[in-house]
A and B are shown apart, each in its own frame.
Chain A
Amino acid sequence: MTDLPLNGAAGAIPDFPRPARSILETDARTRARNRAEARFRAYGLAALLVGLFFLVLLLGSILWNGMGAFMQTRMTLEVELLESELDPEGTRDPAVLAETSTFGYGDLIEAALVRTVAATGVQTGLEAGDLDDLLSSGTAARIRDAVIADPSLVGQTVTFDVLPSSRVDGYIKGRVTRESLANDKNLSPEHLDIVDALVAQGTLDRGFNLSFITGADASEKRPEEAGIGVAMIGSFYMMLVVLGLSLPIGVAASIYLEEFAPKNRFTDLIEVNIANLAAVPSIVYGILGLAVFIQFAGLPQSAPLVGGLVLTLLTLPTIIIATRASLRAVPPSIRDAALGVGASKMQAVFHHVLPLAVPGIMTGTIIGMAHALGETAPLLLIGMVGFVASNYPGGVLDGFTSPNSAMPAQIYEWAKRADPAFYERAWGGIIVLLVFLLVMNLMAVLVRRRFERRW
């Protein structure tokens, strides 16, 4: 026994000096340690503040630029729907009315504008033919649609809510000024005199722009009519496909790999590859989708079904990684307990392990879906470009196959277009997209809270 007696009195080990120190005064070591801690806290706080600053900057600029898209200038216009122009034979048959093209309405609208301007009393040097620059170029089409839908309107003077052109809208929102119009062929300062008078009269005002949220994309000439609604439907259908495929496939693959598969070279290889797949650039999946789903399998272009398939490939690794992590987090003692009372492996997994892993799986799925929702590049390769989203799908099932776009691709499309009014729509679209992502992330948090670990 060479050891020192452990239970001997303290005085038995006199060789260890024990400096007398009071706990009321801190020594040099403690002070240095406390200083290091204070420094570290300061760094952390600074890092946090920098991050927060950029976040506020980002959100602020998005809101600042994008809120305009949610407001829209409107104008009331009394149009005399002359029978002599639209329906000379008096049939009131929609088929006959459809024979009149939108050009046939041009004169009626011009006359209505002349009357409206005259009513304001503004003296203007503009020709009657220039007045329709005040209105969206889609106005005639809208009035024509209304007439075909309700032929009894013909022969009456009807008050329509029409959209002013994007320049007028921009002037009301402060984006367009008289100076900026100097080199603009689309609108002149004289028009603005009329706009001022119309505003004073109450004929022209601003309101909430519901059709931005529900509407379809419009051509380059009509930013005031463009909405993100159809692209939203496209995104929705893609998410259905992604959820319907990636959740069952991902969970089944993870359970197999984690609980049943033997641990050998082959499964190691699969494991490494799944981790690598999660890091493959999304555009690679896009070109894969183009080659496999469209060129090889012959699925339609621009279809949310194909988009969903591509995004499923993209989401699967995320879901598999999250599911495997949450399966692994279930203590092995739970499996032993189930096996110990004579449950089969599958019963142990489905009765005990999987329920405990559900919150992790759901969180992973929601986050994977949120990624997929914001993905743009692969969609462009399979033809889900923004301008395709100009028609609502014909039916519920049609939504999977009829050509459509998705929210981020629509935003990209708008950002590409020259007209600053589209730029505003792009920012507005980003707000809509962020709201969706926020809701999904909130759901992930709630799910985690709701099913907190219970062992």
Chain B
Amino acid sequence: MNDMRLFERAATVDEVKIRAKDVNVHYGIAHALKDVSVDIGDRLVTAFIGPSGCGKSTFLRCLNRMNDTIAAARVTGAIELDGQDIYDRRVDPVQLRAKVGMVFQKPNPFPKSIYENVAYGPRIHGLARTRAELDEIVEKALRRAALWNEAKDRLQSPGTGLSGGQQQRLCIARAIATEPEVLLMDEPASALDPIATAQIEELIDELRQTYSVVIVTHSMQQAARVSQRTAFFHLGHLVEYGETGDIFTNPRDPRTESYISGRIG
């Protein structure tokens, strides 16, 4: 697309964590993502917004190579993490995913105990030497995901027995327990009540101190509340990307404008 107008973001981004250039994704013959170029800053929250089916999740999955698991998906273009190409032949996607954690759109806890759900990542990455350390990691992760109070008395009961919103928070706890550098969150608050949502937003804000966070959301208010940068996707294009305040108060593209004012979606 030639008429795609991007912010002159080079001036505003200080420290780039992830740099994507001309990313295209095809699912078989369907062209799901078209020439997306974006720089995601470190210690910032970046929000992806856009109507359903526009490619937000697809792009998110490119960032930790989860698309590798979809046989039909074909990714072209370049994505760099700290200046290193993540699609380089030498990159082991497993190692990459330990650095770039992910919370999925649908809560998907393991059918194991709450404790095991959170402890799994640290355990396979050898983050804890003793049981006490592991306990500590699990507790910290559950506290940050605002689930500790509800889960502390039932750590051994199955994670699948939690409510939908609790499951989503469990998945967040599981993702942050491995201490990733980038956290990709696909609609983490879609199943949460306002109180839990506020807690998660608080968590995201806190995570920003050390991580780079990318969040997909359908809630404009949420994007406005938690993010510093916002990217608007439409029909596989990245239509507009810039400071969140600018996007919401002064959108440059008419499509962005009509989306945030509720006319397309």
A residues contacting B by CB (< 8 A) are 262-263, 331, 333-345, 347, 351-352, 356, 454-455
Q: Is the CB of A342 within 8 A of B125?
A: yes
| Chief secondary structure at chain A's binding surface | helix
Q: Is the CB of A340 within 8 A of B104?
A: yes
Among B66, B124, B158, the residue within 8 A (CB) of A340 is: B66
Which residue of B has the minimal Cβ distance to A351? Answer: B120
| B50 interface hit (Cβ, 8 Å) | no
Q: Is the CB of B98 within 8 A of A334?
A: no
Q: Is the CB of B106 within 8 A of A333?
A: yes
Q: Is the CB of A338 within 8 A of B125?
A: no
| B111 interface hit (Cβ, 8 Å) | yes
CB contact under 8 A between A340 and B102, given known A351-B120, A454-B160: yes
- In the complex, what residues of A have CB within 8 A of residue B175's CB? 340-341
Q: Is the CB of A344 within 8 A of B94?
A: yes
The 6 A-B residue pairs with the shortest CB-CB distance, nearest first, are: A342-B98, A333-B108, A341-B121, A455-B111, A340-B102, A454-B111
- In the complex, what residues of B have CB within 8 A of residue A345's CB? 94
Q: Is the CB of A342 within 8 A of B108?
A: no
Q: Is the CB of A337 within 8 A of B110?
A: yes
Among A341, A351, A454, the residue within 8 A (CB) of B174 is: A341
Q: Beta-carbon contacts of B189-203 to A below 8 Å, as 1s and 0s? A: 000000000000000
Q: Is the CB of B97 within 8 A of A337?
A: no
Q: How far is the CB of B255 from chain A (nearest CB, A)?
A: 22
Q: How far is the CB of A376 from chain B (nearest CB, A)?
A: 42
Q: How far is the CB of A129 from chain B (nearest CB, A)?
A: 78
**28 A-B pairs, CB-CB below 8 angstroms?**
A263-B71, A331-B108, A333-B104, A333-B108, A334-B108, A334-B110, A335-B69, A336-B66, A337-B108, A337-B109, A337-B174, A339-B66, A339-B94, A340-B175, A341-B97, A341-B101, A341-B120, A341-B124, A341-B174, A342-B97, A342-B121, A343-B120, A343-B121, A351-B120, A351-B124, A352-B110, A454-B111, A454-B158
Q: Is the CB of A343 within 8 A of B106?
A: no
What 6 additional pairs, Cβ within 8 angstroms, besides A337-B109, A351-B120?
A263-B71, A337-B110, A342-B95, A342-B97, A344-B94, A347-B124
Which residue of A has the minimal Cβ distance to B61? Answer: A336
Instruction: Report the separation of the CA atoms of residues A75 and B71 in the bound assembly, to the nearest whole angstrom.
Output: 76
Contacting A at CB under 8 A, from B72-128, are 94-95, 97-98, 101-104, 106, 108-111, 120-121, 124-125
B residues contacting A by CB (< 8 A) are 64, 66, 69, 71, 94-95, 97-98, 101-104, 106, 108-111, 120-121, 124-125, 158, 160, 171, 174-175, 177-178
CB contact under 8 A between A341 and B66, given known A333-B106, A333-B108, A336-B104: no
Q: Which of A333, A339, A347 has the most CB of B within 10 A?
A: A339
Q: How far is the CB of A90 from chain B (nearest CB, A)?
A: 78
- In the complex, what residues of A have CB within 8 A of residue B106's CB? 333
Instruction: Report the separation of the CA atoms of residues A439 and B153 in the bound assembly, to the nearest whole angstrom.
Output: 41
Instruction: Report the separation of the CA atoms of residues A338 and B121 in the bound assembly, to the nearest whole angstrom.
Output: 8
Q: How far is the CB of A354 from chain B (nearest CB, A)?
A: 13
Instruction: Report the separation of the CA atoms of residues A353 and B12 in the bound assembly, to the nearest whole angstrom.
Output: 45
Which residue of A has the minimal Cβ distance to B94? Answer: A344
Q: Is the CB of B160 within 8 A of A340?
A: no
Instruction: Report the separation of the CA atoms of residues A337 and B103 in the bound assembly, to the nearest whole angstrom.
Output: 8
- In the complex, what residues of A have CB within 8 A of residue B108's CB? 331, 333-334, 336-337
- In the complex, what residues of A have CB within 8 A of residue B174's CB? 337, 341
- In the complex, what residues of A have CB within 8 A of residue B109's CB? 337
- In the complex, what residues of A have CB within 8 A of residue B103's CB? 340
CB contact under 8 A between A336 and B120, given known A342-B178, A356-B111: no
Q: Is the CB of A455 within 8 A of B160?
A: yes
Q: Is the CB of B110 within 8 A of A340?
A: no
- In the complex, what residues of A have CB within 8 A of residue B110's CB? 334, 337-338, 352
Which residue of A has the minimal Cβ distance to B158? Answer: A454
Instruction: Report the separation of the CA atoms of residues A335 and B120 in the bound assembly, to the nearest whole angstrom.
Output: 13
Q: How far is the CB of B216 from chain A (nearest CB, A)?
A: 15
CB contact under 8 A between A343 and B104, given known A338-B110, A352-B110: no
Q: How far is the CB of A218 from chain B (nearest CB, A)?
A: 55
Which residue of B has the minimal Cβ distance to A455? Answer: B111
